[in-house]
A = this chain, B = another copy of it.
Amino acid sequence: MKAAIGIDLGGTQLRVARLDAQGQILDHRKTQTAARAGPAVVIDQICALVDELRAAALADTAAPTDDSAGIGVCVAGPVDPDAGVVLEGWTMAGWHNIPLRDLLAARTGLSVTLANDGNAAALGEWRFGSGQGCRHFVYVTVSTGIGGGVIVDGRLLLGHKGMAGEIGHMILDRNGPRCNCGATGCWEAFASGTALAQRATELQATAPDSHLHRLAQDRSLTAKDVVDAAHLGDALARRLVQEEGAWLGIGMTALLHLYSPERIVMGGGLSNALPLLLPEIEREIRNRAMPPFRDVPIVLAALGDNAGVIGAGALVFREE
C-alpha cells in the first residue's frame, strides 16, 4: 500500500502528514511556520518534517522500502499549479514566485503537486469529507478571511494560473468596506470572522448590559466571543450572529447561481456556529436564489483543521 505525504503550509502553522489512499492520517507532524525567516528556512522546515515522517514509516515496517507515492503541498495564497510556483505566500515574508514544487522534488526525490490551500481543502472534503458523492460542490471556509474551492463537473476548478474560485472576493457592495485584497465590498470584508468581530467591537458600546460590552473592557473581541455570547442568549450577540448569517446567505446565493453545486460545505472557525447561523443563511437563500437553486443543502465540513493536509495528500492520489 502506497502512502501520500500531505503538506499544509500556512502563515502560522506548518502541518505534514502521511495518508493512505482512503484519506486516513497514518502519522503527522506540525510546527510553527518560520514565517518571517524567508522561503529557504521554511523549505528546510518542510524537508525536516518530511524526512522525519519517512524515517518513522521505514522504522515501522518490516520491509526496508519507502512506500511514499508522492507529495502534495498546499499554501495559503495564490499558486500556479501548472508551473508549480507559489505566486504569493500570504503572511509569509519573501514568498514571491517561489518554484516550491521543483525545490521540494529535488530535495525529497519525490514527485510533488502544488495547490492553493482552499482548493486542497475542497478536494479533501470532496474525496473524504462532507462533499463525498457530489459531482458539483463548493467548499467555503470562514475564519480570519473567506476562502474555499469549487468542484464542478467532477473536477477541481482551477482557471488561468489556478486562480479561479476566489470566492471570498465576490463584490457584494461597490461602496462597502475595504477588503484585505485591495478591492471594496468583498464578501470577505462583510462576512469573515474578522468582520464579525469588528462589528461586535463597534456595537458593544451601544449595549452596556451585553456580555460583549463587559468582555470588551478587558480585551479585543473575537468572532468566537460573539458566538459564545449568542449561545448564552445575549441579545446583541444574537443580532450580530443573525446579521452574519444574512451575509453568509447572500454570498452563498451568489455561489449557487455561479457554480450550481449540489451542496455547499462550510468549514473554518466560524463553521462551529453553523447551527446558529443556518436559519438566517437559509432565509436569505430562500428569498434571493432563483427557484431551482433554493433547496441546495448547507452542510458542516467533516475534516476540520485537517482538510488542508488531507486534501494535499489527495492531490497525490489524483495524479496517479
Interface residue ranges, A against B (CB under 8 Å): 78, 87-88, 135-136, 152-153, 155, 157-167, 169-174, 181-184, 246, 250-251, 253-254, 257-262, 287-293, 296
Known pairs A157-B157, A169-B257, A181-B290 / 18 extra A-B pairs, C-beta < 8 Å: A87-B292, A135-B160, A136-B159, A152-B158, A152-B159, A153-B155, A163-B260, A163-B293, A164-B258, A164-B259, A164-B260, A166-B257, A166-B290, A170-B170, A170-B258, A171-B250, A171-B253, A174-B250
Structural contact, A261 and B160, CB atoms closer than 8 A: yes
Cα distance, A250 to B181, chains bound together (Å)? 15
Which residues does chain B contribute within 8 Å of A167, judged by CB atoms?
257-258
Most buried by B among A152, A165, A250: A152
| A to B CB contacts below 8 Å, 12 in the list | A78-B290, A152-B158, A160-B261, A164-B260, A169-B257, A170-B170, A170-B254, A170-B257, A170-B258, A171-B288, A183-B287, A258-B258
Cα distance, A64 to B164, chains bound together (Å)? 50
**CB of A233 to closest CB in B, whole Å:** 27
**CB of A51 to closest CB in B, whole Å:** 33
**CB of A182 to closest CB in B, whole Å:** 6
Which residues does chain B contribute within 8 Å of A183, judged by CB atoms?
253, 287-290
Cα distance, A260 to B81, chains bound together (Å)? 13
Structural contact, B262 and A171, CB atoms closer than 8 A: no
**CB of A115 to closest CB in B, whole Å:** 14
Cα distance, A117 to B61, chains bound together (Å)? 58
**CB of A290 to closest CB in B, whole Å:** 5
Q: Which 5 A-B pairs have the closest CB atoms?
A: A159-B260, A164-B260, A163-B260, A166-B257, A183-B288
- Out of B158, B182, B292, which one reaches A161, CB within 8 Å? B292
Given the known interface contacts A158-B152, A163-B293, the answer about A174 and B173 at a Cβ–Cβ threshold of 8 Å is yes
Cα distance, A135 to B162, chains bound together (Å)? 12
**Residue of B with least CB distance to A170:** B254
Cα distance, A254 to B187, chains bound together (Å)? 11
Which residues does chain B contribute within 8 Å of A164, judged by CB atoms?
136, 152, 258-260
Which residues does chain B contribute within 8 Å of A165, judged by CB atoms?
258, 260
- Out of B153, B163, B291, B296, which one reaches A292, CB within 8 Å? B163
Structural contact, B172 and A174, CB atoms closer than 8 A: yes
**CB of A215 to closest CB in B, whole Å:** 29
**Residue of B with least CB distance to A294:** B182
